[in-house]
Amino acid sequence: MLRVLLLLACTASTNILATMLSPARGDDAPPAWAYPVNPPDFKPPPDDGKPRSVPGSDRTYTVPQTRDRFFAPVWYPAEHPPLPEVVAQGRKPGVFACGFCHRADGPGGPENASLAGLPQAYIAQQMADYKAGKRTTSVPRRNVDLMIALAKAASDEEINAAAAYFSALPRRAVINVVETDSVPKTVVAGWFLADSKSGEREPIAGRIIETPEDVARFENRDTHVKFIAYVPVGSIARGKALVEGGNAPCSACHGPRLNGVGNIPALAGRSPSYLFRQLYDVKHGARAGAEGAPMKEVVASLSNEDMTAIVAYLASLTP
């Protein structure tokens, strides 16, 4: 509750953020719901000195540990192999622990990529694109800036070790997609949206609102946390028609069940917020690596509304 009160005090609603972020290109501007940005004065609640625990784990971590970018909490060690050094603790000063942001077994969250099960070569190529300036972001002051700096600092050996580890992990269903006309009011809580717990609701208004089911556990880097993605009514069916229709259905490259083929990544069951950013960034040139080039023509004619429907459908599929 303390976190929510602090966030309400320092954070605008997503509607206000939309006004801040969206004037440049009108209806085609990057939507605030997909690109949450921390306010300049954002600060997490102060450490209360109490160790943190999560259901189903006998481990505890301090608040400073759960906020340390050079430390990845491992709540369920029996569920995955030991973390490579770069995943567990990174390398100071510039290579953050991969398992801090993407979690110990790679499920990620709305603010970043799920790495579990992605092809090893694909992960390595994305790091090369970050390093070469070919993968950036359509909205500044987001965590992509950290990835760019990290990629430039990381060695090939570190990148390959992380890519091999995450690619060998199984993908899991972590997103519950709900079609609705109204959504809880949200606040920005660290490059992602969180339910304000005010009890107030507002029209979904064409957005996707993706939030952790338990914000405290998510902040503690708990890999068992799941997410709710509220999507506009009818968007799943519309997205299915767009994904399966046209001269270039997504399955032609991403496989019949959209679970990836070879070095082409899976789309099924991934965060709709993350997927929207990738489509938007490809369309507007922020993501320009060689592997994204085939997507350029595919997304050129898509509106923000089209992309919203597409990612709502993709997120609803079983990984």
Considering the domain boundaries, does residue 177 fall inside one? yes
Q: What is the pLDDT of residues 18-27, one digit of tens each?
A: 333 333 355 7
Considering the domain boundaries, does residue 161 fall inside one? yes
Question: Do 91 and 29 lie in a common domain?
Answer: no
Which tops the pLDDT comparison, 155 or 1? 155
> Does 169 score more than 70 pLDDT?
yes
- CA within 13 Å, CB half, 179: 14
- What is the mean predicted confidence (pLDDT) over 267-273? 98
Considering the domain boundaries, does residue 53 fall inside one? no
Considering the domain boundaries, does residue 43 fall inside one? no
Question: Do 163 and 176 lie in a common domain?
Answer: no
Q: Give the DSSP letter string of 51-83.
A: PB--TT----B-HHHHT-TT----S-GGGSPPP
What is the pLDDT, as a whole number, of residue 26?
59
Question: Do 250 and 182 lie in a common domain?
Answer: yes
Tokens representing 80 are 């995955």
What is the pLDDT, as a whole number, of residue 27?
76
What average pLDDT does the structure give for the chain?
A: 91
Q: What is the CATH number of the domain that holds 179?
A: 1.10.760.10
Long-range contacts of 13-20 (CB under 8 A, 24+ apart): 13/185, 13/186, 13/187, 13/202, 14/186, 14/188, 14/193, 14/207, 14/209, 15/202, 15/205, 17/188
- What is the mean predicted confidence (pLDDT) over 266-285? 97
**Range of 77's domain?**
63-167
Considering the domain boundaries, does residue 125 fall inside one? yes
DSSP bridge pairs for 183? 202
Question: Do 296 and 193 lie in a common domain?
Answer: yes
Considering the domain boundaries, does residue 216 fall inside one? yes
Which tops the pLDDT comparison, 13 or 170? 170
> Does 244 score more than 60 pLDDT?
yes
Q: Are 25 and 202 in contact (CB under 8 A)?
A: no
- What is the mean predicted confidence (pLDDT) over 137-164? 95
Question: Do 161 and 287 lie in a common domain?
Answer: no
> Does 214 score more than 90 pLDDT?
yes
Write down the H helix ranges in 79-181.
85-88, 98-101, 120-132, 144-153, 156-167
Residue 117 has phi, psi (to 5 degrees) of: 80, -5
> Does 306 score more than 50 pLDDT?
yes
- Residue 6's pLDDT band (boundaries 50, 70, 90)? very low
The number of distinct structural domains making up the chain is 2
Question: Do 155 and 202 lie in a common domain?
Answer: no
Question: Do 19 and 145 lie in a common domain?
Answer: no
Question: Do 102 and 34 lie in a common domain?
Answer: no
What is the pLDDT, as a whole number, of residue 4?
39
Q: What is the pLDDT of residues 66-79, one digit of tens each?
A: 999 999 999 999 99
